[in-house]
Structure formats: structure tokens, C-alpha cells
Amino acid sequence: MNICIIGAGYVGLATGISFCIKGHRVEFYDSDRNKILILNDGRVPFYEKGMEEALQKCIKRGSAIFTDNLKKALKEAAVIFICVNAPTLPRGKTDLTSIKSLFSKLNKLIKRKVTIAIKTTINPDDYLEVKKLLKNENFHLAVNPEFLREGSALKDSLNPFRIVIGTYDESSKKDLENLYSNFDSPKIITDPLSAIMIKYASNSFLAVKISFINEIANLCDKIGANIDDVATGIGLDPRIGKDFLKAGIGFGGSCLPKDTRNLISFSKRAKANISIAEKVYEINDVQFLAAIDKLKEVLGNLKGKTIAVLGLAFKGGTDDLRDSVSLKIINYLKKHGVIVRAHDYMIYEKAGKLLKDVFISGDIYSVAEGCDALIIATDWQEYKRIDWAKIKNLTTGNLIIDGRNILNKKLLIKLGFIYSGIGRS
Ligand code: UGA
């Protein structure tokens, strides 16, 4: 099938490349000419494991084409995927500027029957608003949410836990069923608003699980229980499930915080009450203080202390800083007179431009030098394998706050560190 992906960002690329791999021909359109040049050169403008290699294979086979010419990109497409960015405005409405301008172009350019599938996550009321803009009777509209995790986006696109198709329209339903026919995943065919709700409810439920386990971990700290055993014990019940029970300093990223926030705001506009999402949001907002309290317990007043924040990305395996809990911690520490040093495996250069008065490096050993304490803020699995004895010799103090519960507590204590995880007392 000929497919057009509009918006060659994270979702657009992962989706489009997975279609290429499945044997379809994909034209990617993006208005950012520089991005198109980079992609045409076989490079991906962000880090995602395996994406660049897959992209190069697709380009070589001629199944992935990149252009900043919308008319050309649309020319042969039977299905068009809308994957453009739709940021959230302060009061929880979607910023529809780019979607609106895109839809008015589609109205002018498309003169034949075509399926338009919206992947961009937009609120139900915003969806009803933009739907009115697609006046063209040739358009067969569907909502097809994405469920990709950064760090495993390609794997998730090729083997999704489920494929959700939301439409009232027979033709778009048929096109999307065809397109996904060689994807071995359960398919849910529903109406557009229910499809949107599946996306919001999924991300918000994941957020509920994380905030729940974080509060249980805080309690474990108070009573002397061990959150790792507690999470394993409850996760073995298949009705609960073991995933997303990793306690820590809170969730970040471009999706869970935003989607929880949006669910709260559009539920208010619909005069419904999702108080659990509000609570989750509140809990997550202050969960990073669990790490700060632990610092204070040992160091007392933090003013003038030197502290290393290990990990800047919102989670390991990405170079994405959006809504990262690390930034919250760094800002707090700076505000309280701490000299902050920071490390990340991927994003140290970009972060260096943002956080000018913080020493940032990709070399963990230089970051650790002279520090009173270290905080693990991102779950980079590489931190498990570094030379902690060498770090011990480089630091002034001996305190480690493991905000992601990834390190070997016994080993660190043996090396002479004071170790404190979240709920691992
Ligand atoms: C999330 C969802 O997991 C995807 O299913 C969804 O498609 C995506 O949002 C989206 O809407 O596009 P992502 O933002 O890539 O994916 O990251 P997650 O793996 O969900 O992690 C989010 C945050 O939660 C991270 O900061 C992570 O460290 C934290 N987390 C995750 C925990 O603190 N504990 C856990 O057990 C799991």
C-alpha cells in the first residue's frame, strides 16, 4: 500500500519505518527542510535504538521517501497518517495551530478518496473541533492512537500490544484493517472518541501504577520494609501485573505527565470527575522530594554542598529531556545553594546549553570528582556496571541516593558508601 506520514518526528518515523518493514511504500512529509535533509542522508535526528539502521535499509530498498513537498507526498497515498506535534496549551487544551493549517492544505490538495488516520494524541473535544475542518467528502477519517515507548519504539510499532482503530467510516476501517493485516496483534475496532479514551486511559493508568508504587515505597521507608520484594510479591498476581511497579523519584517524559494533565482538564470541561488522575499528578509532582529528604537526612543543610546528579534523560535509553525529573532535582538543588554536577550518557551536550551553570559531562568519573553525594536520577542500566570503587576514591563524601532503585545495595555498602534507595530501607 502507498502510505503518507505527515510529521517525521518520533511517532511518524517509528510508525512509517514499521510499515516499510512490513512491505509498504511510505512517503514521509515534514515542513522542516533540515530534518528532511538529515533523514534523506540516512540519519535519525534523535536517538532511538535500531532506528537508524532500519531507516537506512528502507531507503536502500526504495520504500522510504522523504520530502518537504506536501503535494508530492500525498500524490499516491491511499492512507495518510497525521503524526504532527500538538503541544498542550496552559489550560489543558491542545494547541491545534499546526493541525488546523495542515487540514486546510489537505482540503485544497486532495481531490480523491483517501483514508486519514490521526495518530497525534488530541483531546476528545479538540478532535470534534478539528474534525469539522475536514470538510472534504473524499476524506475517510479514523483515529489510530500510538502506544510506543521511547527506547523500544520500533519494536513496539512492529509488535504492538494492541491496534486501536476508531472510526464510523466503513472505507477507512477496511483500509486500516488491510494495512495492519500482517501485524500479529489484537485489533480493537471502535468509534473515534473511544479510541482517544483508550489512549488517555492507558497512559493515565500507567501513571496511577507508578504513583501507587511510589507511595507504597515511601511507606516502606518509614516502616522498614523492602519495596523490591513488595513489588515482586504484588506483581505476581496476574490481575495486578509486574510491569510499571518500579518505584523511584517519579515519572517524566513527553507523554505520561501531559496525558494525565490533559485527562484532568478535558474531564473537567465534560463536567466529569477523574480525581484519581488529579491525585496522581500531585503525588508525582513532589515524589522527587523523597530523594532530597534522604540527602538532607545525611548531609543536613545542603547549601554549599557539591552534588552529582547522574542521568538527565527522562528515562534510560533515550536522549529526551522533556519533563525529566532530573531537571526538577537540579533546579531544586541550585535554588538551595548546591553546586550541581551532572552526568548523562547521551544528552550532555544539549543539556549543557540549557543548564549553563552546571558542570555536565558524559564522563561519569569526572562528574563524581569532589562530590559530597550522588543521586541516580535516570535508570541508565549502564550505572550498574561502572567502577564504583573508583567513584568512591574520587568523591569527597560517600552518600548515594538511588532514585531509580537500580544499583546493588550490598556491593555499594561493602565499598564504604552510605546507600539509600526509594523504599529499600
Ligand atoms: C509512554 C507509554 O509507556 C507508552 O505506552 C505510550 O505510547 C507513550 O508514553 C506515548 O504516549 O507516546 P514513554 O513516555 O516512552 O511511554 O515512557 P515510559 O516507559 O512509559 O516511562 C515514563 C516515565 O515513567 C519514565 O520517567 C520512567 O522512568 C517512569 N517509570 C516507568 C517509573 O518510574 N516506574 C515504572 O515502573 C515505569
Residue 256 CB less than 6 A away from ligand 1: yes
Residue 48 CB less than 6 A away from ligand 1: no
> How many whole angstroms from 348 Cα to the centroid of ligand 1?
21
Cβ–Cβ < 8 Å for 133, 100: yes
More confident residue, 172 or 91: 172
Q: Could you tell me the pLDDT band of residue 93, with boundaries at 50, 70 and 90? A: confident
Share of the chain above pLDDT 70, in %: 100
Residue 245 CB less than 6 A away from ligand 1: yes
* pLDDT digits 0-9 by tens, 324-381: 999 999 999 999 999 999 999 998 888 888 898 999 999 999 999 999 999 999 999 9
Task: Check residue 87 and give its pLDDT.
Answer: 87
Task: Check residue 418 and give its pLDDT.
Answer: 98
What is the pTM assigned to this prediction? Answer: 0.95
The rounded distance, in Å, linking the Cα atoms of 209 and 191 is 27
Q: Could you tell me the pLDDT band of residue 150, with boundaries at 50, 70 and 90? A: very high
Question: Active-site residue numbers?
Answer: 255
* pLDDT digits 0-9 by tens, 303-327: 999 999 999 999 999 999 999 999 9
Q: What is the mean pLDDT of residues 172-193?
A: 97
Task: Check residue 136 and give its pLDDT.
Answer: 78
Instruction: Using the predicted structure, report yes or no on whether residue 90 has a pLDDT greater than 80.
Output: no
Task: Check residue 276 and give its pLDDT.
Answer: 97
Instruction: Using the predicted structure, report yes or no on whether residue 89 has a pLDDT greater than 90.
Output: no
* pLDDT digits 0-9 by tens, 198-250: 999 999 999 999 999 999 999 999 999 999 999 999 999 999 999 999 999 99
Instruction: Using the predicted structure, report yes or no on whether residue 92 has a pLDDT greater than 80.
Output: no
Q: What is the mean pLDDT of residues 29-47?
A: 96
Task: Provide the Cα torsion 179, 185, 189, 195; round to 10°.
Answer: -100
Residue 212 CB less than 6 A away from ligand 1: no
The rounded distance, in Å, linking the Cα atoms of 86 and 147 is 16
For a mutational test of ligand 1's pocket, the pick from 46, 206, 240, i.e. the residue with the most ligand atoms closer than 8 A to its C-beta, is 206
Task: Check residue 348 and give its pLDDT.
Answer: 84
Instruction: Using the predicted structure, report yes or no on whether residue 290 has a pLDDT greater than 80.
Output: yes
Beta bridge partner(s), residue 53: none
Burial of 95 (0-12, 13-18, 19+ CB in 10 A): middle
Q: Could you tell me the pLDDT band of residue 84, with boundaries at 50, 70 and 90? A: very high
CA-based R_g, the chain, Å: 23
H helix or E strand, kind and range, residue 158: helix 153-158
Task: Check residue 173 and give its pLDDT.
Answer: 97
Cβ–Cβ < 8 Å for 419, 403: no
Q: Shortest CA distance to 135 belongs to which of 108, 101, 172, 169?
A: 108
Residue 376 CB less than 6 A away from ligand 1: no
For a mutational test of ligand 1's pocket, the pick from 251, 310, 347, i.e. the residue with the most ligand atoms closer than 8 A to its C-beta, is 251
* pLDDT digits 0-9 by tens, 3-16: 999 999 999 999 99
